[in-house]
Chain A
Amino acid sequence: GENVEQHPSTLSVQEGDSAVIKCTYSDSASNYFPWYKQELGKRPQLIIDIRSNVGEKKDQRIAVTLNKTAKHFSLHITETQPEDSAVYFCAASKGGSYIPTFGRGTSLIVHP
């Protein structure tokens, strides 16, 4: 089955810095890669996703890159703000009818 590794487990940055979280996956058939943000005590919410037919997707301060050859994808947050502090999860799946495999999460702390 699919295996998703996520690094780092904890990331501490100063407000205004950039943050990068990386994930690798094992199943070359995976074609959908979402990122979820989970604030303390809240539900995970999708913040951005990418499908295997594109290499990069951007939405304001967040971007995701995908390297299918190397089987890794990354989340980039620029100009971080304290409200970006949360746990971020990556996932990989073969599509909507398949069970996604989640990474173990990255706790991002943005210091004001």
Chain B
Amino acid sequence: GAGVSQSPSNKVTEKGKDVELRCDPISGHTALYWYRQSLGQGLEFLIYFQGNSAPDKSGLPSDRFSAERTGESVSTLTIQRTQQEDSAVYLCASTQGYEQYFGPGTRLTVT
């Protein structure tokens, strides 16, 4: 079946603008995670959705970052007033059980 998809694949934006990143998880997967990966670095956890429970936002680096998920479907990660340090690849992953399935990521470049 279809895997996790993300859009856009690449986004270039000017400093100070808002951006919205989208994640389509695998159908039926109740859990969804957002991560940030800076160049040559590991996976930095941002936010976690599990079913209808309140999301775990403990990894969000500032109040400029927010995310929503409608039920067990699409999630959007919004970054307001982007800064150059926000430049990174943003990955989402969905899971049903233990294994995480990652999307291809959105490469965000803030100029």
Query: Can you name 7 A-B residue pairings with CB atoms under 8 Å?
Result: A43-B91, A43-B102, A44-B91, A46-B99, A96-B97, A99-B56, A102-B43
Contact for B100 among A34, A51, A95, A103, CB less than 8 A? A34
- Pair B98/A45 contact, Cβ less than 8 Å: no
- Pair A34/B102 contact, Cβ less than 8 Å: no
Give every chain A residue within 8 A of B42 (Cβ-Cβ).
89, 102-105
| Chain A interface residue count, Cβ-Cβ cutoff 8 angstroms | 22
Interface positions, chain A 85-100, Cβ under 8 Å from B, are 89, 93, 95-97, 99-100
A-B contact count (CB 8 A): 47
Q: Measured between alpha carbons, how far is A95 from B50 in the docked complex, in Å?
A: 13
Minimal beta-carbon separation of B12 from chain A (angstroms):
17
Minimal beta-carbon separation of A39 from chain B (angstroms):
12
Give every chain B residue within 8 A of A34 (Cβ-Cβ).
98-100
Known A-B contacts A97-B31, A97-B50, A99-B48; the reply to A43 vs B103 at CB < 8 A is: yes
Give every chain B residue within 8 A of A89 (Cβ-Cβ).
42-43
Name A102's closest neighbour in chain B (CB-CB): B43
Contact for B98 among A44, A96, A99, A105, CB less than 8 A? A96
Give every chain A residue within 8 A of B31 (Cβ-Cβ).
96-97
Name B4's closest neighbour in chain A (CB-CB): A43
Minimal beta-carbon separation of A70 from chain B (angstroms):
23
